[in-house]
Chains A and B, each alone.
Chain A
Amino acid sequence: MSAGASRIEHVLSERPARAVLEQLPGELVESAGALLAAGYRLALVAAHDGGGPLRVVYLFADGPPDQRVELHVQIQRNQPQVPSLTHLSFPAGRFEREMRDLFGIEPVGHPRPRGLVLHQHWPSGWHPMRADAGPRPAMVDDAEPYPFVDVEGPGVYEIPVGPVHAGLIEPGHFRFWVVGETIVKMKARLWFVHKGIEQLFEGRDLQSALPLAERISGDSAVGHSLAFCLAVEEACAMEVPTRANELRAVLVELERLYNHVADVGAMCNDVGFGLANAHALTLRERLLRLNAEVTGHRLLRGGIVPGGALLRSLPRPDDLQEIGARFQEIIDLARSNSIVMDRFTGTAVLSATQAREIGVLGVVARASGLSHDARLSHPFIDPPTDFHPARHDAGDVLARFLVRCAEVEASLALLTDYVTRDGPLSAFGPKPSVKGKGHGSGMVEGWRGTVVHRIEVDPDGKLQRVKVVDPSFMNWPALPEALANTIVPDFPLANKSFNLSYAGNDL
């Protein structure tokens, strides 16, 4: 038995809250396999290049209680290879393709090691995240075309859509192969908005990095800034007072609230039921104004800082109750419309098996019968004992609609609990003292799903590496799976029921 394997045995029997295991490349597959078999999920894979040997960090997580195991692999600069984990975990394969594009680390044994993040016209062999990457060479004009899989057969018709769409949405190219109106296959080609955010973090101090974290995905300002702060606090061993965590929980739920309300309305709008959308938008505007009162920003920026939280006011419980009543009216309106329910029911089904294998998170996972919720498995504040994440088993659009409805209700209950606790509007821990090199991870159940950040800071308090995983990164591959045998006109509805971020996916 190798040293790595014995330490894995130890982790699996003790189940510590945090564990870091140095691994030789040869031990990786066995260790990862053992962790996955023991119920851990692969939450994040981050490559590092500090100029010396390359490092790859695999973060596995399980809970409750919160358990995180990191496997660290050091690899030679002149032979940048890691054994692929694709055959063990589907998300691993995507992380490896990302790593291959950005760091040039080759996943050995990957069944389809194609580019993921960088489009074909990027200069090949140039890896932007490498410390020695240098300035970017010119883009290639006549690059090889995107390798779409050819779908052939009698009556197969190809529909390319996007990346520029008729509405104001983010860019994504969708290619459908259909017979009549039935979708045989759909390929989503994303990654049109690569901004190099992870590199922008490098070298920043904690204060100037926070606004960047808030802007990773505009509608998830709280999810990302909180995950970032949790990671920072773990890396710098900061104490966070309970009151600050209560205030943070208020923001997390407010963010869930305004996004879910908008989604519920938008799903109704996509089946032509504009009435519910009009009311949902009115309610969303009310929530945005509430957000502005609470944090000074309609999208809840500025409320969370490393080590604490500062708010301007708290929502009043009777306000929350009224918002709940208004939302209930909208749901009743939608649920009493038989055409809306007919359109939702049985559309774009994602089975529990598919959801588990793809590793989906958040609303989509809970609508397919999985019960993962970071509020329970990786809590920064203990939720009330009567809190249970909403769950439905059908996996169709209706299930995703109902999960959102139930989550709004649950969020209002949580908010009412938190805002009625006594305490000041701001709370900060003692000033941190960054000593020595630190690393930490933060996991937050944002409104889309679990947001994961992992950071490394140097002794001066400068960020060396920030790796961000938005739940959209994990969930995008599920959309084409759910679309099999769905009809083309139902695609916008199915897409809306997932409502994944392009910006959070493509950092």
Chain B
Amino acid sequence: MNGIGGVIAAVLVAGAQIAAVAVGGPLLVGVMRKVRCHIEGRVGPPIHQPLRDLRKLFSKQRMRPDQASWVFGVGPVVLVATAVLIAAISPLATTRPPLGQTADFFAIVFVLLLGSVALALAALDTGTPFGGMGSSRAMTIGALAEPALLVAILAMSIPAHTSNLPALVRIGLAHPQLIASPERFLALGSFLVVILAESGRLPVDNPSTHLELTMIHEAMVLEYAGPDLGLVILGESMRLALLLGLLVNLLIPWGIADRPGAAALVIGLGALVGKVVVAGIAIATFEVFTAKLRLFRLPELLAGAFVLAVVGAFTALVIR
């Protein structure tokens, strides 16, 4: 695939992945809320409610605190931009994302981190106590979660001899025994805990709380309103969808498009949606039956994730 046709195809595939994540992210949040409500015996809002909320927020007037500098406005943009970038280059619907030939898993983690840091800085920008409190907590959790994630990636990369993300998925597809290996399971277990921590789900953070003092992520974005808040919510839901998409494709790659062509891509998208929804339902169900850990217990949880990843990495080295 070269020339103009190749470029168009590349843009289309990337565009399809970005659109899937941008629309699918809020819908995933809607599904998870619905599942939670259903189990609790409540009706709950419709699944597309988050999309409606976004439409409402984007149609509102922009309101920013007087004290805010440019950092405040840039934070949400960076958050969404990093999510869009990852959506374009990750093996979500296809194992050969045209823009993602150099999509290194480590690099993706750092791009994700860029979004988190941008938001934390933006939260500090207004100088309100909640922003500072939320940033401090989020960065503490991030500092504990990132090492676990990096070691988990290492554990997955050792047997595959690469940390290139599309290659990792392709190798899983070609050699299923690599997925069924203990190091992959340990690493993905660690990855799952990190996802819960990074996306502010229970038992780390309560996404539905209105209590300012317990908030982690919500405290950071308390000053945002209107379109800025819309970007934050969109960015966060895209990140959740992305992380879950990567998780399921590393665990169960089947269904993903492994050859070029529109049909394969559509099947790949469908498979992605199906797998992510199942993962989302599983997480939402888990959330119903758990509670929020005491803030000072979180290091124990994340240290557990780190240990899982380290054991995974050692297992990979020993088995090799």
Contact B292 A272 (CB under 8 A): yes
Contact A490 B290 (CB under 8 A): no
With known contacts A158-B129, A279-B41, A489–B291 Cβ distance under 8 A:
no
Q: Which of A274, A343, A490 contacts B288 (CB 8 A)?
A: A274
Q: Which of A159, A167, A339, A487 contacts B211 (CB 8 A)?
A: A167
CB contacts (< 8 Å) of A337 on chain B: these are 289-291
> How far apart sit A492 and B293, CA to CA, in the bound complex (Å)?
14
Contact A339 B40 (CB under 8 A): no
CB contacts (< 8 Å) of A271 on chain B: these are 291-292
Contact B288 A181 (CB under 8 A): no
Contact B41 A282 (CB under 8 A): yes
Number of interchain pairs (Cβ within 8 Å): 86
Interface residues of A in 237-295 (CB under 8 A from B): 268, 270-275, 278-279, 282
Contact B213 A489 (CB under 8 A): yes
> How far apart sit A159 and B127, CA to CA, in the bound complex (Å)?
11
Chain A residue with the shortest CB-CB distance to B288: A275
Decide yes or no whether A160 CB sits under 8 A from chain B: yes
Decide yes or no whether B108 CB sits under 8 A from chain A: no
With known contacts A160-B129, A278-B40, A342–B294 Cβ distance under 8 A:
yes
Q: Which of B132, B290, B293, B296 contacts A487 (CB 8 A)?
A: B296
Contact A492 B214 (CB under 8 A): yes
Q: Which of A159, A165, A181, A343 contacts B292 (CB 8 A)?
A: A343
> How far apart sit A492 and B218, CA to CA, in the bound complex (Å)?
15
Decide yes or no whether A3 CB sits under 8 A from chain B: no
With known contacts A159-B129, A272-B203, A279-B41, A340–B291 Cβ distance under 8 A:
yes
> How far apart sit A270 and B36, CA to CA, in the bound complex (Å)?
16
Minimum CB–CB distance for A101 against chain B, Å: 30
With known contacts A270-B214, A273-B291, A159–B42 Cβ distance under 8 A:
no
Decide yes or no whether A58 CB sits under 8 A from chain B: no
CB contacts (< 8 Å) of A272 on chain B: these are 202-203, 206, 209, 290-292
With known contacts A158-B129, A282-B41, A270–B293 Cβ distance under 8 A:
no
A interface, how many residues as a size bin? 20 to 34
Contact B210 A167 (CB under 8 A): yes
Chain B residue with the shortest CB-CB distance to A273: B291
Contact A339 B222 (CB under 8 A): no
> How far apart sit A444 and B265, CA to CA, in the bound complex (Å)?
71
Decide yes or no whether B212 CB sits under 8 A from chain A: yes
Decide yes or no whether A507 CB sits under 8 A from chain B: no
CB contacts (< 8 Å) of B39 on chain A: these are 275
Interface string of A161-192 (1 = CB under 8 A from B): 10001110000000010000100000000000
Q: Which of B209, B210, B291 contacts A268 (CB 8 A)?
A: B291
Interface residues of B in 210-250 (CB under 8 A from A): 210-214, 222
Decide yes or no whether B2 CB sits under 8 A from chain A: no
CB contacts (< 8 Å) of B177 on chain A: these are none
Contact B208 A274 (CB under 8 A): yes
Decide yes or no whether A491 CB sits under 8 A from chain B: yes
Chain A residue with the shortest CB-CB distance to B204: A272
Contact A274 B210 (CB under 8 A): no
Decide yes or no whether A488 CB sits under 8 A from chain B: yes
Contact A166 B211 (CB under 8 A): yes
> How far apart sit A166 and B219, CA to CA, in the bound complex (Å)?
10
CB contacts (< 8 Å) of B132 on chain A: these are 157
Interface string of A345-364 (1 = CB under 8 A from B): 00000000000000000000
Contact A490 B129 (CB under 8 A): no
Minimum CB–CB distance for B79 against chain A, Å: 21
Contact B211 A492 (CB under 8 A): yes
CB contacts (< 8 Å) of B7 on chain A: these are none
Interface string of B280-294 (1 = CB under 8 A from A): 000000001111111
Interface residues of B in 127-151 (CB under 8 A from A): 129-130, 132-133, 137
CB contacts (< 8 Å) of B288 on chain A: these are 274-275
Minimum CB–CB distance for A83 against chain B, Å: 41
CB contacts (< 8 Å) of A342 on chain B: these are 293-294, 297
Known: A342-B293, A343-B292, A491-B213. 13 other contacts (CB 8 A): A157-B129, A165-B212, A166-B222, A167-B210, A270-B209, A273-B292, A278-B41, A279-B41, A339-B290, A339-B293, A342-B297, A487-B294, A490-B294
Sample 8 A-B pairs with CB under 8 A, ordered by A number: A157-B132, A272-B206, A272-B209, A272-B292, A274-B40, A275-B40, A337-B289, A339-B291
Which residues of B are interface residues toward A (Cβ below 8 A)?
A: 36, 39-42, 129-130, 132-133, 137, 202-203, 206, 208-214, 222, 288-297
The 3 closest A-B pairs by CB, nearest first: A272-B292, A278-B40, A167-B210
